[in-house]
Amino acid sequence: MNIPVECTKGDYTIIAGVRNPYQRMASHYLHRRDSHPRSVWHWTFHEYIAQLEKHCLHWWGLADDPPACSWLRDIEVSHLLRYESLEQQWNELSLWQRVGFIPRLLHRNANSANRNSWHALYTRELADRVFHLQREDFEQHGYHQDSWRRNYAVD
Protein backbone atom coordinates (compact mmCIF):
# COMPACT_ATOMS: atom_id res chain seq x y z
CA MET A 1 0.00 0.00 0.00
CA ASN A 2 1.54 3.30 -1.05
CA ILE A 3 0.38 6.02 1.31
CA PRO A 4 2.47 9.18 1.18
CA VAL A 5 4.51 9.62 4.36
CA GLU A 6 3.00 13.06 4.97
CA CYS A 7 -0.44 11.38 5.18
CA THR A 8 0.53 8.87 7.86
CA LYS A 9 1.19 11.30 10.67
CA GLY A 10 -0.26 14.47 12.08
CA ASP A 11 -3.90 15.46 12.02
CA TYR A 12 -5.05 12.85 9.55
CA THR A 13 -7.47 10.15 10.62
CA ILE A 14 -6.41 6.88 9.05
CA ILE A 15 -8.89 4.04 9.08
CA ALA A 16 -7.92 0.51 8.10
CA GLY A 17 -9.84 -2.72 8.01
CA VAL A 18 -8.71 -6.23 8.84
CA ARG A 19 -10.36 -9.52 8.09
CA ASN A 20 -10.20 -13.04 9.43
CA PRO A 21 -7.08 -14.36 7.66
CA TYR A 22 -8.79 -17.66 6.85
CA GLN A 23 -11.66 -15.88 5.14
CA ARG A 24 -9.31 -13.44 3.39
CA MET A 25 -7.17 -16.24 1.95
CA ALA A 26 -10.25 -18.16 0.80
CA SER A 27 -11.72 -15.01 -0.72
CA HIS A 28 -8.53 -14.22 -2.62
CA TYR A 29 -8.38 -17.76 -3.93
CA LEU A 30 -12.04 -17.81 -5.02
CA HIS A 31 -11.78 -14.39 -6.65
CA ARG A 32 -8.74 -15.40 -8.67
CA ARG A 33 -10.22 -18.78 -9.58
CA ASP A 34 -13.54 -17.29 -10.69
CA SER A 35 -11.96 -14.31 -12.49
CA HIS A 36 -9.32 -16.28 -14.40
CA PRO A 37 -10.77 -19.72 -15.15
CA ARG A 38 -8.37 -20.50 -18.02
CA SER A 39 -5.16 -19.46 -16.31
CA VAL A 40 -3.20 -21.04 -13.48
CA TRP A 41 -6.33 -20.78 -11.39
CA HIS A 42 -7.33 -24.32 -12.13
CA TRP A 43 -5.56 -25.01 -8.84
CA THR A 44 -7.40 -26.41 -5.88
CA PHE A 45 -7.29 -24.41 -2.67
CA HIS A 46 -4.75 -26.94 -1.38
CA GLU A 47 -2.50 -26.27 -4.41
CA TYR A 48 -2.94 -22.51 -4.01
CA ILE A 49 -1.73 -22.64 -0.39
CA ALA A 50 1.17 -24.89 -1.46
CA GLN A 51 2.21 -22.23 -4.01
CA LEU A 52 2.14 -19.54 -1.35
CA GLU A 53 4.31 -21.69 0.91
CA LYS A 54 6.69 -22.53 -1.92
CA HIS A 55 7.20 -18.91 -2.80
CA CYS A 56 7.38 -17.75 0.82
CA LEU A 57 4.73 -15.10 0.26
CA HIS A 58 7.21 -13.04 -1.75
CA TRP A 59 5.98 -13.82 -5.22
CA TRP A 60 3.44 -11.01 -5.25
CA GLY A 61 2.64 -11.57 -8.92
CA LEU A 62 1.04 -14.84 -7.88
CA ALA A 63 -1.15 -13.93 -5.00
CA ASP A 64 -0.41 -10.65 -3.25
CA ASP A 65 -1.45 -12.28 0.00
CA PRO A 66 0.94 -10.95 2.62
CA PRO A 67 -0.38 -10.60 6.16
CA ALA A 68 -2.21 -7.28 6.64
CA CYS A 69 0.32 -6.45 9.36
CA SER A 70 3.02 -6.20 6.69
CA TRP A 71 1.38 -3.16 5.11
CA LEU A 72 -0.04 -1.68 8.32
CA ARG A 73 3.34 -1.73 10.05
CA ASP A 74 4.52 1.72 8.94
CA ILE A 75 1.21 3.54 9.18
CA GLU A 76 -0.12 5.18 12.32
CA VAL A 77 -3.64 3.84 12.03
CA SER A 78 -6.18 5.81 14.03
CA HIS A 79 -8.95 3.22 13.88
CA LEU A 80 -8.72 -0.45 12.99
CA LEU A 81 -12.05 -1.96 11.97
CA ARG A 82 -12.86 -5.67 11.67
CA TYR A 83 -14.55 -6.93 8.52
CA GLU A 84 -17.04 -9.12 10.35
CA SER A 85 -18.49 -6.09 12.20
CA LEU A 86 -17.50 -3.42 9.69
CA GLU A 87 -20.89 -1.80 9.19
CA GLN A 88 -21.54 -1.44 12.94
CA GLN A 89 -18.03 -0.15 13.67
CA TRP A 90 -18.19 2.25 10.71
CA ASN A 91 -21.51 3.65 11.96
CA GLU A 92 -20.13 4.09 15.49
CA LEU A 93 -16.96 5.74 14.20
CA SER A 94 -18.97 8.10 11.99
CA LEU A 95 -21.04 9.21 14.98
CA TRP A 96 -18.01 9.49 17.25
CA GLN A 97 -16.09 11.56 14.69
CA ARG A 98 -19.17 13.77 14.28
CA VAL A 99 -19.26 13.28 10.56
CA GLY A 100 -22.82 14.65 10.57
CA PHE A 101 -24.13 11.72 8.58
CA ILE A 102 -23.48 8.02 8.52
CA PRO A 103 -21.72 7.17 5.27
CA ARG A 104 -23.02 4.00 3.65
CA LEU A 105 -20.61 1.28 2.75
CA LEU A 106 -21.11 1.01 -0.97
CA HIS A 107 -19.08 -2.08 -1.77
CA ARG A 108 -19.79 -5.59 -0.68
CA ASN A 109 -17.58 -8.36 -1.98
CA ALA A 110 -19.57 -10.60 -4.26
CA ASN A 111 -17.62 -13.84 -4.32
CA SER A 112 -18.75 -16.92 -2.49
CA ALA A 113 -16.25 -16.46 0.35
CA ASN A 114 -18.55 -13.80 1.69
CA ARG A 115 -21.55 -16.10 1.84
CA ASN A 116 -19.87 -18.34 4.43
CA SER A 117 -19.02 -21.11 1.98
CA TRP A 118 -15.34 -20.39 2.59
CA HIS A 119 -15.37 -22.68 5.63
CA ALA A 120 -15.83 -25.71 3.35
CA LEU A 121 -12.41 -25.09 1.75
CA TYR A 122 -10.62 -25.83 5.00
CA THR A 123 -9.43 -28.96 6.69
CA ARG A 124 -7.45 -28.91 9.92
CA GLU A 125 -4.24 -29.44 7.91
CA LEU A 126 -4.95 -26.50 5.54
CA ALA A 127 -6.02 -24.30 8.43
CA ASP A 128 -2.73 -25.02 10.21
CA ARG A 129 -0.78 -24.11 7.08
CA VAL A 130 -2.68 -20.84 6.59
CA PHE A 131 -2.23 -20.05 10.27
CA HIS A 132 1.52 -20.45 9.81
CA LEU A 133 1.52 -18.20 6.72
CA GLN A 134 -0.62 -15.51 8.35
CA ARG A 135 0.45 -15.92 11.99
CA GLU A 136 1.24 -12.23 12.45
CA ASP A 137 -2.33 -11.22 11.56
CA PHE A 138 -3.83 -13.82 13.88
CA GLU A 139 -1.69 -12.56 16.76
CA GLN A 140 -1.93 -8.82 16.10
CA HIS A 141 -5.64 -8.70 15.35
CA GLY A 142 -6.96 -11.27 17.79
CA TYR A 143 -8.26 -13.92 15.42
CA HIS A 144 -8.31 -17.38 16.93
CA GLN A 145 -6.55 -20.33 15.32
CA ASP A 146 -9.84 -22.26 15.24
CA SER A 147 -11.85 -19.46 13.60
CA TRP A 148 -11.82 -21.41 10.32
CA ARG A 149 -14.49 -23.71 11.75
CA ARG A 150 -18.04 -22.87 10.64
CA ASN A 151 -19.47 -23.10 14.14
CA TYR A 152 -16.60 -21.34 15.89
CA ALA A 153 -18.04 -19.09 18.61
CA VAL A 154 -16.26 -15.84 19.41
CA ASP A 155 -15.82 -15.31 23.15
What are 88-104's pLDDT values in tens digits? 887 787 777 776 666 66
Is pTM beyond 0.85? Reply is no
Cα 58-60-65 angle, rounded to 5 deg: 85
- Look at residue 52 in the predicted model and tell me its pLDDT: 84
* 48-57, 84-93, 103-112: least confidently modelled range: 103-112
Mean pLDDT of the chain: 76
List Cβ neighbours of 150 (8 Å cut-off, separation of 6 or more). Answer: 116, 119
Q: What is the predicted pLDDT for the residue at 108?
A: 58
